Amino acid sequence: MIERYTTAEMKSIWSEEARLQTWFAIELAQAKARMQMGFVPEDVVMRLYQQSGTIDWTKFSHRMQEHERELKHDVIAFLTTLEEFIGEDAKVLHFGMTSSDVVDTAFALSLQKSGRQILERLDVFEKALMYQAKKYQNTVCLGRTHGQAAEITTFGLKLLSYVAEVKRDKERLLRAIEEISHAKLSGAVGNYGNSDPQIEARVLSSLGLLVEPVSTQIVPRDRHAVFFNTLAVIGGCLERLAVEIRHLMRSEVGEAFEPFGSKQRGSSAMPHKKNPILTENVTGLARLLRSYAGAALEDQALWHERDISHSSVERVIGPDATTVLDFALVRMTSVIEGLVVDAERMRAHVDAVGEMIYSESVMLKLVEKGLERQIAYGYVQQAAFESRQEHKRFLYCLAAHLEIKKYLTHQDISDLMSHDHHLRHVQTIFDRR
C-alpha cells in the first residue's frame, strides 16, 4: 500500500523484516517441538533461541534476496541464508517441513495480527460513535428516505445505527480471524508423509494457531475469501457513514461537518470552501476493499493439492486490504470524534418541512375514524400538494379539506403534530441495542 494510507501498526506487521522473523519463529517452534519429542538435542535449540535475538534482519533480508535471485525460491533462499547466519545448528531446522508449512503459517500469523489490530480500531470507533450517539440522542432532525424529508428522528438514533453495525462487524471479524487462524504443518500434500500431527499440534498451539483439520499443501482458501470479504463488508459500513456525512455536509444541508484544521485549505482556487475530503476519501477506500474481496474469492479454486496462483494475489491484498481498512478506521474515528454538529440547522430543516412529516399520523387517524386507507391517503396527499404549491401551512390545508374536516377538527390535527409523541420509542431502541 502507498505510504499515504499506511498506518505505523500495519507497516510493522507487514514489513519484510517482520515476515522473516515470523518465518524464523515458526522454524524455531518446530525445532522446539521436535526437541520435546526427543528428536533434537536441547542445547541446539537453546543456542538457536539465543541466536534468534542477534540476527540483523535487514542485513539478512539483503543477503537472502541475493540468494533468491539465483534460486528463484524464497524459502530455500531463506534457509540458505539462515545456514550462513547461524551455522551448523541451522541443520535441525525445517526438518520434514515443506515451504508452505512455513510460508502459509506465517501468512496466518500476519493476517491474525492485522485482524486483531483492526478489531482494536473497531473498538475505538464504536466508542466514538456511541459517545456521539448518546450526546445527540435527543437532538431532533429529519429522517430522510430517497433523499426526501420523511419523518423526524434524532441525530443520536442515526448514529446508533452505526454503533449496531460496528458491533456486528466486530463479531464478523472475530469469526473471520478465527477462520484464518488455522494453519498446517502437514507437509507437501497435507498427509504428514514426512512429518507428524503431534509436531504440528505442538507448534501451532505454541504460536496461537489452530490445526486445519484437512489441509492440502496449504490451508484451504475459503477461509481467506471469508476474511477479505469481511473486510469489504466493514468497508461498506464506513462508506455508508462517509456518504451520510458527505450528505449532511452539503451546502444546502449543512447539518454536520468533518473537523477542519485551522490552517487547512479547502480548494486551491476557491478560498471559501470546506470540503468533506476525509469522508470522500473513505468512500473510495471502500471500493478498494470490495475489489480486493473479489480477488480473494477467485483464489479458492486452486488446482489439486495447491497451485501457487493465490500467492501473488495475497502478497498484494494481504497487506493492502488490511492496511487500507486500518487507515480508513483511523480516519473515520477522527471524523466522528471531531464531528461538528449544527443542531439549529437540523431543527430548522425539521421546521421547514414542518407539519408535512405528520401526514402519516393524520392519515392513520382518519382510518381509525372509519375512512378507507386509500381514500384517506388521497385526501392527505391532496392537502400536502396544496400546501407545497401554495406555500400554505399543511395544518391549515388539512383542516380546510372538505372531506377531512368531516372527521377531524383543527385541534385534532394539531394534537397529532407532536415531536415528543413521534420520538417516544427512541429510548427503547437505545436501551436494547
- Using CB under 8 A as the binding rule, the residues of this chain from 103 to 122 that contact a copy of itself are none
Asked if residue 117 lies in contact with residue 186, where contact means CB atoms within 8 angstroms, the answer is no
Whose CA is closest to 398, among 423, 421, 416?
416
* Residue 272 C-beta-side C-alpha neighbours within 13 Å: 1
Q: Is 252 in the site for a copy of itself (CB under 8 A)?
A: yes
> CA angle, 233 as apex, 228 and 238 as ends, to 5°?
120
Whose CA is closest to 132, among 426, 428, 349, 338?
338
Q: Is 267 a catalytic residue?
A: yes
Q: Is 304 in the site for a copy of itself (CB under 8 A)?
A: yes
Asked if residue 86 lies in contact with residue 51, where contact means CB atoms within 8 angstroms, the answer is yes
Which one of 17-25, 117-125, 137-145, 404-412 is the stretch in contact with a copy of itself (CB under 8 A)?
137-145
Asked if residue 152 lies in contact with residue 419, where contact means CB atoms within 8 angstroms, the answer is yes
Q: Is 246 in the site for a copy of itself (CB under 8 A)?
A: yes
* Nearer to a copy of itself among residue 207 and residue 278 (C-beta): 278
Asked if residue 217 lies in contact with residue 195, where contact means CB atoms within 8 angstroms, the answer is no
For residue 99, give Cα distances in angstroms to 73, 91, 105, 276, 352. 9, 15, 10, 47, 68
Q: Is 306 in the site for a copy of itself (CB under 8 A)?
A: yes
Name the active-site residue from 205, 267, 312, 418.
267
> How far is it, in rounded angstroms, from Cα 229 to Cα 227?
5
- Using CB under 8 A as the binding rule, the residues of this chain from 53 to 92 that contact a copy of itself are 70-73, 75-76, 79-80, 83, 90-91
- Using CB under 8 A as the binding rule, the residues of this chain from 8 to 47 that contact a copy of itself are none
Which one of 47-55, 105-113, 306-314, 401-409 is the stretch in contact with a copy of itself (CB under 8 A)?
306-314
Question: Contact with a copy of itself (CB under 8 A): which of 54, 389, 411, 428?
Answer: 428
Q: Is 152 in the site for a copy of itself (CB under 8 A)?
A: yes
Which one of 22-30, 48-56, 104-112, 278-286 is the stretch in contact with a copy of itself (CB under 8 A)?
278-286
> CA angle, 194 as apex, 193 and 199 as ends, to 5°?
105
User: Least distance in Å: CB of 195 to a copy of itself?
Assistant: 8
Binding-site string for a copy of itself from residue 311 to residue 350, where x marks contact by CB under 8 A and - marks none: xxx-xxx-xx---x------------------------x-
* Nearer to a copy of itself among residue 21 and residue 61 (C-beta): 61
User: Least distance in Å: CB of 46 to a copy of itself?
Assistant: 20
- Please report which residue ranges of 1-98 form alpha helices under DSSP H: 8-14, 16-36, 42-52, 57-71, 74-86
* Nearer to a copy of itself among residue 59 and residue 287 (C-beta): 287
> How far is it, in rounded angstroms, from Cα 405 to Cα 411?
11
Are β-strands 182-183 and 210-211 bridged in parallel, bridged antiparallel, or unpaired? Answer: parallel
Asked if residue 255 lies in contact with residue 342, where contact means CB atoms within 8 angstroms, the answer is yes
Q: Is 417 in the site for a copy of itself (CB under 8 A)?
A: no
Four-residue CA torsion sign, 275, 279, 280, 282? positive
Kindly determine how many residues on this chain lie close enough to bind a copy of itself according to the rule CB under 8 A. 170
> How far is it, in rounded angstroms, from Cα 174 to Cα 180?
10
Measured from the Cβ of residue 77, the count of other Cβ atoms closer than 10 Å reads: 19
> How far is it, in rounded angstroms, from Cα 332 to Cα 337?
8
Measured from the Cβ of residue 284, the count of other Cβ atoms closer than 10 Å reads: 12
* Nearer to a copy of itself among residue 53 and residue 261 (C-beta): 261
Q: Is 297 in the site for a copy of itself (CB under 8 A)?
A: yes
User: Least distance in Å: CB of 206 to a copy of itself?
Assistant: 19
Binding-site string for a copy of itself from residue 200 to residue 239, where x marks contact by CB under 8 A and - marks none: -------------xxxxx--xxxx-xx--x--xx--xx-x
Which one of 30-38, 45-53, 248-256, 336-344 is the stretch in contact with a copy of itself (CB under 8 A)?
248-256
Whose CA is closest to 247, among 141, 160, 165?
141
User: Least distance in Å: CB of 375 to a copy of itself?
Assistant: 10
Residue 352 CB-density burial (10 A; 0-12 exposed, 13-18 middle, 19+ buried): exposed
- Using CB under 8 A as the binding rule, the residues of this chain from 165 to 204 that contact a copy of itself are 165, 168-169, 172, 175, 179, 187-194, 196-197
Binding-site string for a copy of itself from residue 356 to residue 395, where x marks contact by CB under 8 A and - marks none: xx-xxx-xx--x----xxx--xx-xx--xx-xx-----x-
Active-site positions read 146, 267
